[in-house]
Amino acid sequence: MASVENRLTAIELKALTPADIGQKRQDGGNLWGMVRKGATDDAVSVTFYYRYRMGQKSRDLTCGTWPALSLKDIRTARNAARKLVADGIDPIDKAKAEKADKKTANDKAKADAEAAASRLLVRGLFDRWSQSELAKRKDKGAETARGFNKDVLPAIGNRFADEIRKADVMAILDAVVARGANRLANRLLAELRQMWGYGLVRELVAIDCTAGITKKDVGGKENERERTLSDAELKALPAALESADLLDSSIHAVYVVLATSVRIGELIQARKANIDLENRIWRIPPSDSKNTDPHVIYLSDFAAFHMHKLMEISNSEMFLMPGRSKDGSETYIDTKSITKQVSDRQVKFYDRPAHAKRSKQENALVLGDDKWTPHDLRRTSATLMQSLGVLPVVVDKCLNHRDENRIRRTYQRYDYAKEKQEAWQALGLHLQAIFSSNVIVGDFKKSG
C-alpha cells in the first residue's frame, strides 16, 4: 500500500531541536529527511532524500535541505525524480551526467577565454614589433608609426592578428592608392610584410597575410627620380626663392644643400657645436647621419656664407634650425618642414589644391616642366661635381654613400679628405659663378 505523502509540516520542522540531530523524519512517498546541525549551535537543518529502486538497486537522491529550501520545493524535486524513474531514467546518473557536461562546458569556456586572452590583436603585434625592431631604427620607428596609426590600426588594429587575410590587407592598401599615395602604399606593404614576418618566426601568427602581394598589386613599380636643376633653372632659383614668401632660414638651407650635397634632414638636425666656421668644417655625427656613418663636410666660401647666415638666424645655443617639441623642450624643426614648404609652392604638379593654412605663393617655386624637391638639390649638387671632373668615388664620399662592397668597405679605409675638400671648393666656385648676377649673398669670404 502506498505510503501517505506530505506528512511533515513546517511547524513540525521548526520544533526540532539539537536533541533531534541524527534522527530521521518520514514525509511519505519515499521522501525522508535526516536531522543535522544547523548554522548555529541552537539551530538544526534537515536534508531530504528520495529513495527509489532502479533495477535491483535501492538508491537515495538528495532533494534539498530545509530551511534553505521549503518543503514545497523539496517535494517538487522528489516528484521530478519520481517521473524520471517511471520513465526508466536513473535520476542520480542523470544528475552526474549533467554535472559532467556542465564541467566540460565550463572547462571549454575557460580554455576559450584563455586562448582568446593569449591571442594577439593586430595592435598588440604592432606594439611588440615596434618595441623589438622599430626601436632600433634611427627615428625609433616614428615614420612607420605615423603610417600605421593613420591607415592600418584604425582598420584592423582591434582584430586578432591570426584572423587577418589578404583581403583585409588589400582593402587598406587600395584605400591608400585611391587617394593617390602609391609610394606610401608600397611602403606600407613592405612594413606589413616585415611585421608579419616578425610574428611568424615567433609563432605569434600562423599565416602570412601579405604572402603573394607584390608592388604591382598595390602602388606599382617606383621609378627612380632623375630630376636635377639645369644651370638655367639654377639661375632662376634665387628670384623664385625671394618671391616665394619663405623663411630666410629655409632659403639659406636650400643653398647649403646645393653647396654640400647634404641630405636636408641632416642639415635640419645639425647642432651648432659640430659646425666650425673658422676652419670651414661641419661634422655630422652618426646620430644625425641617415646611414649612421659619420661624415665630415668641408665648407666652401659659398657654403660657409649661408651656414653663417643660418647660425645668425638661429635663436638656439644648440640647434642650427631650432623648433619646439610638444612638451616645450628645445629640438630642431620637423625634418620634412622645408620639403613641405617647397612642395606647397609648386602645387600645379600635385593632384591636390593648395592647403588653406599654407603659403598663397602656390606656384612661386616652379622651375621648368617638373617639380623639384630638396633631395633633387642634393642630386643636382652631385651632378655638378661630376661635370666639374670630380671622380665618382669622390662624389660618393661627398654624398656619404656607404660602399656596397663589404670587402672594399672593410679594407680600403682612405677617407679622401683632401679630394672631398677640393670637390666642394670647386662646387662652391661654380655656384658662385652661376649666382654672381643675383644679389643674394654678399661677400662670400667674410662669412666666418
Q: Give the pLDDT confidence score for residue 362 in this predicted structure.
A: 84
| Main-chain dihedrals φ then ψ at residue 166, nearest 5 degrees | -55, -40
β-strand 44-54 against 31-37: which pairing, if any?
antiparallel
Would you place residue 1 in the very low, low, confident or very high pLDDT band (cuts 50, 70, 90)? very low
CB 155 within 8 A of CB 172: yes
- Tell which of 114, 143, 169 closes a domain: 114
SS3 assignment, position 41: coil
Residue 3 has pLDDT above 80, yes or no: no
Mean pLDDT of 79-105: 93
pLDDT in tens, 210-257: 999 998 888 776 666 789 999 999 999 999 999 999 999 999 999 999
**Of all residues in the chain, what percent carry a pLDDT higher than 70?**
92
The CATH number given to whatever domain includes residue 41 is: 3.30.160.390
**Same domain membership, residue 409 and residue 288:** yes
CB 424 within 8 A of CB 281: no
Q: Give the pLDDT confidence score for residue 114 in this predicted structure.
A: 67
Least confident of 142-151, 248-257, 328-337: 328-337
| Main-chain dihedrals φ then ψ at residue 48, nearest 5 degrees | -105, 145
The CATH number given to whatever domain includes residue 274 is: 1.10.443.10
Total domains present in the chain: 3
| Dihedral Cα 185, 186, 191, 195, nearest 10 deg | 90
pTM of the model: 0.62
pLDDT in tens, 373-394: 999 999 999 999 999 999 999 9
162-195 as b/e: b if 16+ CB within 10 A: eebeeebbbebbeebbeeebbebbbbbbebbbeb
Residue 441 has pLDDT above 60, yes or no: no
**Same domain membership, residue 263 and residue 357:** yes
Q: Give the pLDDT confidence score for residue 181 in this predicted structure.
A: 84
**Which residues form the domain of 249?**
231-446
**Same domain membership, residue 375 and residue 401:** yes
Does residue 67 belong to any structural domain of this protein? yes
SS3 assignment, position 256: helix
Mean pLDDT of 23-36: 95
The CATH number given to whatever domain includes residue 177 is: 1.10.150.130
pLDDT in tens, 49-72: 999 998 889 999 999 999 999 999
